[in-house]
Structure 1
């Protein structure tokens, strides 16, 4: 069976950097979520400009990748898989627009939406299957998060949960090769949990109806604690399962990269898997919760920091929404004795 490799990742973070004090200035002392550990604020986060679309952020992340691999890369892309947490245009995914921006003509474009915070490992499994089934040689995976700025609306920013999300984008390059192979993936669905994430508009209107109330995500303490409890269980479960698929255990993981909803879940996952902080890379205090872009952004920053030293087993994992989906993917990065060649784009 043809091996499929994740050979490179690149990311883009908007330049606007907002500190925690911005939200502290507007916080409501009577907010029932104020002391909920799910919503303890990161030190900083980045926000896309008002006019920026998800396609804009992906285009900037892809420019880094094209600089490393050459402009001819556009013509090599057979499969394009995209996720945009806040759709740029109602009804439409961003795949066609991203393909137009990048100048590529893939045989297949797939817009994913249900993967959300766990979308990147989910994408890796889907893309690997499609590449094997269709004979595609090169795929580009794109994730964008521009929903963070929703939480700066004058009314919404007063809520404790508003301080957590940030914006960013990342892209991953896959090739049919064995240089840094995707070893296994695991995806689990829990549909019963889906109702615990809902929209909130104070005037009672539906989000598509005319009105002036601000669009927000509805949380209460009960739902928040349910999400923490579920997330603490299902992410270690998919990580353990993906390790079992390759004859490994969590202790064999050289680098764990997860989504980053809050510090509590990051700590719970490390403790449950026996993975100490140096092997569990995150950028939470720099960028907050990046939703679906969190895993590839963190992976890009980890590779820039030289992690894991000498290559090794990398496991990416996360859960989506209220815990209705969890996904993990295991990738073997090349070590010093197996150097990646610049023409095939091995991770730095």
Structure 2
């Protein structure tokens, strides 16, 4: 840990585990270091970063005094921090513009993972950290996933177990007037956020994407995101026409069996198949979503199957399932 913290203080990049996915961190107040994140990931500068802190007292360095007067910050922090919630509010001018993508706001999260917290404390600074992957590709839930995409591009990786939650944090914006807005589905379901905010203006879901080239309000809002190299197609009721070789992903065992039947009836060769859980279980499914997609991608690439596709059954909405459904929709939106 001392070596990783020294790298952060010196302007370097360190990948580290959190309870959601692995993050790629730099000193949040070191603009050149933050620029290295964008370079390593191939990330467009209109996509803001989330700043990770180890103590709620650090908010005074990131949010304006007016933003901190909003009682919803304490309400949400009491309910969900440390944990998988990012709060977006008005930023202090000291927060580099690159972190904010030029916006007047910044997203902040206090993670629950002990390794992440130890790194932030040892570095002595809030750490800006998106997911530790190439932009738009599958999120990393293991150190091996990080190295597959970023080896040679970053300075260090802190080793840890596979991430617990498996999908990114939920992102909620607190505007000066009006209800809170959910900018990204994630590890805290919308229903839980709505319960906490019911007596404080409630919460609405924001538009899922932004216009091309316009700064995003939060990470993960591009139409195409979280995508494997092998094209992914969502198949709700019918097997996609023209697909002759594939790997299959389904929410549960029963749905996978049905999807396998559709593939066989269509004459497609199934090279690999997996259910996210035996019975429908969003917690287990979220924890394994990106891991299973990495496995299916690797299986098809290893076999060098021409024109292969990953065929996925949509995940039911509601609770944590909404975050899973969101990731699959965005993965499927990548141009074929």
Q: Would you say same fold, with TM above 0.5? A: no
* Greater percentage in helix: 1
Structure with bigger RCO (C-alpha 8 Å, 6+ apart): 1
Q: Scaled by the length of structure 2, what TM-score is found?
A: 0.32
TM-score by length of 1: 0.31
